[in-house]
């Protein structure tokens, strides 16, 4: 992303309150990595580890070090650093950049930005914003929901009933993130975030009804803007004679932007309450995340029974009232 985009994007990180001090000619310079570099040694002549595409931070230590140098040495140090292929320089703590840094940044065409935040806080906000903008992205056809705090993406062929299933789940108290078009991006390793394009946010298309506004119909608590994708449910049309998963012993995964996300293939047939099944799948996934895998626990009990070992009752599984 360009430095100009960072400067103008007031929504992703409004706390940064960035202002441009110099170097407007270089606003089209590109930031290619979300990792910030704070290489104070570069000002002392050791600039071998300055990396292109990464924002350079000048905090209090760098500013005070430059002020301690003789003017000739200061100008030489600044020119050496600013001639490297860096996208921009960010001065933190609201510090005075000084005339020499301002003039040399303008001469080199390197944008000089300033934020009132302290250095660690500014780095955290800027890194978070860049991770979102620079993250790998993709678009999936499906419906993304927040079910009991779990991000569940329902996919399947067109017309199979994804939106109707989602509408039933929303009526049960769960929350809609996106319908039909789900934008996903990988924020960090192993974390895929799903969101909805702003144009269609809060809306669903239901065959026979048309487009509806979920937030207007069910209230503001029925939607949210984004959610981590933690489970994918694929709706398949029921085919006579096809073998379907009966026990759930083997884990199946869906590759999304290089991240393996648990996948459940759910056959759809007349008479099956798909919404209830998807909700149960979400509940079961929450249990699995806590180490409770019902299918494997039952298989282990059966194996012990076949080997002649005594099988203890499940905790709290014996109800004295069952004997009456």
Instruction: Output the pLDDT for position 322.
Output: 53
d(CA 27, CA 41): 26
Instruction: Output the pLDDT for position 324.
Output: 44
Instruction: Output the pLDDT for position 12.
Output: 60
The catalytic residue among 4, 47, 168, 180 is 180
54 is catalytic: no
Q: Where are the domains of the chain?
A: 3-133, 136-297
Q: Are 14 and 35 in contact (CB under 8 A)?
A: no
Q: Is the pLDDT of residue 235 over 80?
A: yes
Q: Is the pLDDT of residue 73 over 70?
A: yes
The catalytic residue among 29, 162, 174, 227 is 162
pLDDT band at 7 (very low <50, low <70, confident <90, very high): confident
pTM to 2 decimal places: 0.73
d(CA 118, CA 92): 6
The catalytic residue among 246, 255, 290, 322 is 246
Q: Is the pLDDT of residue 103 over 80?
A: yes
The catalytic residue among 10, 141, 265, 283 is 141
The whole-number average pLDDT for the span 196-219 is 92
Q: Which stretches of 149-297 are assigned E, i.e. beta strand?
A: 150-156, 175-188, 191-195, 203-206, 210-213, 226-228, 231-237, 253-256, 259-268
Which top CATH class is 136-297? alpha beta
141 is catalytic: yes
The whole-number average pLDDT for the span 102-117 is 94
Q: What is the pLDDT of residues 127-185, one digit of tens each?
A: 888 888 888 899 999 999 999 999 999 999 988 989 999 999 999 999 999 999 999 99
Tell me whether domains 3-133 and 136-297 share a fold. Answer: no
Instruction: Output the pLDDT for position 242.
Output: 75
Tokens linked to 10:
């007031």
What is 3-133's CATH topology? 3.40.1390
């Amino acid at each position: 992303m360009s430095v100009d985009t960072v400067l103008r994007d007031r929504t992703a990180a409004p706390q940064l309150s960035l202002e441009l001090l110099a170097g407007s000619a270089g606003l089209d310079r590109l930031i290619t990595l979300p990792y910030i570099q704070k290489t104070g040694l570069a000002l002392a002549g050791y600039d071998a580890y300055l990396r292109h595409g990464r924002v350079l931070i000048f905090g209090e230590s760098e500013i005070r070090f430059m002020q301690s140098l003789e003017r000739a040495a200061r100008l030489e140090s600044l020119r050496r650093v600013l001639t490297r292929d860096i996208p921009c320089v960010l001065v933190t703590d609201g510090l005075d950049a000084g005339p020499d840094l301002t003039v040399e940044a303008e001469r080199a065409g390197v944008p000089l930005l300033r934020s009132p935040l302290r250095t660690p806080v500014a780095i955290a906000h800027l890194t978070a914003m860049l991770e979102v903008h620079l993250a790998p992205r993709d678009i999936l056809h499906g419906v993304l929901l927040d079910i009991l705090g779990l991000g569940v993406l329902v996919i399947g062929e067109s017309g199979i009933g994804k939106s109707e299933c989602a509408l039933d789940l929303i009526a049960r108290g769960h929350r809609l993130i996106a319908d039909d078009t789900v934008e996903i991006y990988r924020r960090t390793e192993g974390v895929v975030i799903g969101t909805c394009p702003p144009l269609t946010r809060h809306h669903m298309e239901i065959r026979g009804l048309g487009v509806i506004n979920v937030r207007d119909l069910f209230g503001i608590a029925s939607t949210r803007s984004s959610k981590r994708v933690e489970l994918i449910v694929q709706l398949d049309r029921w085919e006579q004679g096809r073998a379907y998963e009966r026990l759930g012993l083997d884990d199946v995964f869906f590759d999304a932007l290089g991240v393996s996300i648990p996948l459940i293939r759910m056959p759809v047939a007349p008479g099956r309450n798909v919404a209830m099944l998807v909700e149960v799948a979400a509940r079961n996934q929450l249990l699995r995340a806590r180490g409770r895998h019902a299918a494997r626990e039952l298989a282990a009990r059966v194996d012990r029974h076949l080997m002649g070992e005594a099988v203890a009752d499940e905790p709290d599984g014996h109800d004295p009232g069952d004997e009456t």
